[in-house]
Amino acid sequence: MKYMLLIYTDPEAAPVAGTPEFDLTHHRWMTYTDDLAATGTLVAGDALQSAETATTVRVRSGDRLTTDGPFAETKEMLGGYYLIDVAGLDEAIEWAERMPNITYGSVEVRPVMDFLGDGG
Amino acid sequence: MAAAVAAAGRSEWTRIVATLARDLGDLDLAEDATQDAIAEALTAWARTGIPDRPGAWLTTVARRRAIDRLRRNAMRSDREEVVARLEAREASEVPTTQDDQLALILTCCHPALAPEARIALTLRSVAGLSTPEIARAFLVPEATMAQRLVRAKRKIRDAGIGFRVPRAAEMADRLESVCAVVYLVFNEGYSASSGDQLLRTDLCDEAIRLGQLLEQLLPGEAEVVGLTALMQLTHSRRATRLDDRGELVLLDQQDRSRWDHDLIAAAVARLDGTPPDDTIGPYRAQAEIARCHAVAASPAETDWTAIVERYRALLGAVDSPVVALNAAVAKSMVEGPGAGLAAIDALAATGDLDEYHLLHSARADLLRRLDRPVEAAAAYRRALALVGTSPERRFLERRLAEVAGTVTPIGPSIAEPLHFGGVPVDGSPTS
């Protein structure tokens, strides 16, 4: 089954660039991504630019409404994602648990909808 | 015949649903097919008599009905594959393993499900209660309970919560969730004073049965043994905790001859049969405290020194101010009300339990015993301002009247409604 791991982090709680913690965390992300790839689990994954760069778009009554900022104002921001392919939720949770931000951020695990019935 | 079918269905339910669920990956279908088999047994067994192995008969029929239902369901793209799996299982006559049942329970209690969904699913799929029965026991409309079950099953299916026994590393976390669900079922039956009383007692029996099933599936697991013993020890006092008028009877006032001594013996035997782990868990620690109360022939013969020691162990396992409060009261039984009051005042200073009526009623009781009636009355009034259920309220009102000197004392109390064996780690009222 495919799962989207949505990575949320409070920028205030994250390590700051230029500190040893930042370098260590960066290294951990690289290792983590390598592990996902090496086990054949990784389908896709990206880090996103900060939430200040976000633009939210809606169309209401035919008019396009474009607003600055993310869809929901929360302390924890969506900072990136991985799309993984694993046997089931327990395995997806295990990968989420290993994510470098897990001690100061959170990861939402969402199964990907399977339209074709081919196991996603 | 109906009784024989009901008995077989009851005792075989978990095993059949578990084996089908694992092959089907679908709880609804597993339950429906099991239900079909039980219904079919009513007519078939009336004709042919009860088969030699009723469980095997029911399993075979349930599996066939599952295949029928699958073949009719064009929506399932994997149906041929699943039918083949079921047919292979039937041909090979592989007996159900304990793992199937363990996988079923662990799935129903999966932490990815909402707590109330775990409880409902466990009662439906593992214990085999009907949706209306569960709805009545939890005082919610049947439609609400049905909806809760539908949502939970949908999440199991759509989120890919597999019917599997987790790896050893995951097991501790998962077992904790299972124990919590079973204990919540028990407390729901035990502590509520409203609703269908008979059904609520059934919930206690059901929870104890689930505890015993877990013991079979995970032999030697000290926390599971502790949980089952704790429930049995608490349940052994069911006949004496309220008097004829529905008033709360404190532990030291209860007629111990009316405790269920068979249940106490069963609990003590299972505790003695499985030694606790090096680091004692919360259920085991609570069971050991409950045991001290249960085996005391009279309140005066209670081994409070042992209880204080076990509270220390419990505090090591659960960092809870409610447990610390109970420990302070136990301390007062060994070192006197002055020492108990000092411990409670230290706890009160943290402010964590300021809104908790039992803190104030325990303080009040110690002040009363120290012959400080004015302060005691103030503490009883504070407790009364916070208390919820009516039997506890009436008890506190009687005590307040007593310290205020308006009525004759209602008898000595060595135990306010606090440390009655089943320690309310979650703060639920016990007696």
Query: Model confidence over B126-139: pLDDT tens digits?
Result: 999 999 989 988 88
Q: How many interchain CB pairs under 8 A, A with B?
A: 28
Stretch B342-359: mean pLDDT? 91
From chain B, the residues in CB contact with A90 under 8 A are 161-162, 164, 166, 170
| CA B388 – CA B355 distance, rounded (Å) | 12
* Nearest residue to A45 (alpha-carbon basis) of A6, A96, A99, A82: A82
Whose CA is closest to B136, among B204, B183, B199?
B199
Scanning B97-116 for CB atoms below 8 A from A yields: 110, 112
Confidence of residue B415 (pLDDT cuts 50, 70, 90): very low
> In chain B, which residue's Cα lies nearest the Cα of A109?
B159
The more confident residue out of B3 and B265 is B265
Supply the pLDDT for residue B199.
60
pLDDT, residue B309, reads: 94
pLDDT band at residue A116 under the 50/70/90 scheme: low
Residues of A in contact with B112 (CB under 8 A): 89, 93
Residue type, B384: L
Q: Which residue has the higher pLDDT, A62 or B430?
A: A62
pLDDT band at B425, cuts 50/70/90?
Answer: very low
pLDDT exceeds 80 at position B197: no
Q: Rounded mean pLDDT of B372-382?
A: 93
Give the pLDDT of residue A118.
54
Q: Give the tens place of pLDDT for each residue, B215-268.
A: 999 999 999 999 999 999 999 998 898 888 777 788 889 999 999 999 999 999
Give the model's confidence band at B93: pLDDT under 50 very low, under 70 low, under 90 confident, else very high: low
**CB-count burial class (<10 Å; 0-12, 13-18, 19+) for B355:** exposed
Pairwise CB contact (< 8 Å): B170 & A90: yes
Quote the CA–CA distance of B292 and B288 in Å, as a whole number.
7
Top-confidence residue, B319 or B270? B270
A1 touches chain B (CB under 8 A): yes
How many Å lie between the alpha carbon of A60 and the closest alpha carbon of chain B? 32
B residues 6-25 near A, CB within 8 Å? none
Question: Is the pLDDT higher at A57 or at B228?
Answer: B228
pLDDT of the residue at B58:
93
CB-neighbour burial class of residue B303 (10 A; exposed 0-12, middle 13-18, buried 19+): middle
Instruction: Write out pLDDT tens, residues B300-313.
Output: 999 999 999 999 99
Checking if the pLDDT of A103 tops 60, the result is: yes
* Confidence category of residue B193, pLDDT binned at 50, 70, 90: very low
**Portion of chain A with pLDDT greater than 70, in percent:** 96
Q: What is the 3-state secondary structure (H, E, C) of chain B?
A: CHHHHHHHHHHHHHHHHHHHHHHHCCHHHHHHHHHHHHHHHHHHHHHHCCCCCHHHHHHHHHHHHHHHHHHHCCCCCCHHHHHHHHHHHHHHCCCCCHHHHHHHHHHHCCCCCCHHHHHHHHHHHHCCCCHHHHHHHCCCCHHHHHHHHHHHHHHHHHCCCCCCCCCHHHHHHHHHHHHHHHHHHHHHHHHCCCCCHHHHHHHHHHHHHHHHHHHHHCCCCHHHHHHHHHHHHHHCCCCCCECCCCCECCHHHCCHHHCCHHHHHHHHHHHHHCCCCCCCCHHHHHHHHHHHHHCCCCHHHCCHHHHHHHHHHHHHHCCCHHHHHHHHHHHHHHHCHHHHHHHHHHHHHCCCCCCCHHHHHHHHHHHHHCCCHHHHHHHHHHHHHHCCCHHHHHHHHHHHHHHCCCCCCCCCCCCCCCCCCCCCCCCCCCC
Cα separation, B360 vs B109, whole angstroms:
36
Residue A31 scores a pLDDT above 90? yes
What value does the mean pLDDT of chain B take?
87
So what's the pLDDT on residue B398?
A: 86
- For the segment B155-161, the average pLDDT, to the nearest whole number, is 92
Q: Contact B160/A93, CB-based, under 8 Å? A: no
Report d(CA A45, CA A39) in Å as an integer: 15
Confidence of residue B422 (pLDDT cuts 50, 70, 90): very low
3-state secondary structure of A95: helix
Give residue B413's pLDDT: 42
The pTM of this model reads: 0.84
Is A30 part of the contact surface with chain B (CB cutoff 8 Å)?
A: no
**Nearest-angstrom CA–CA distance, B326 and B285:** 13
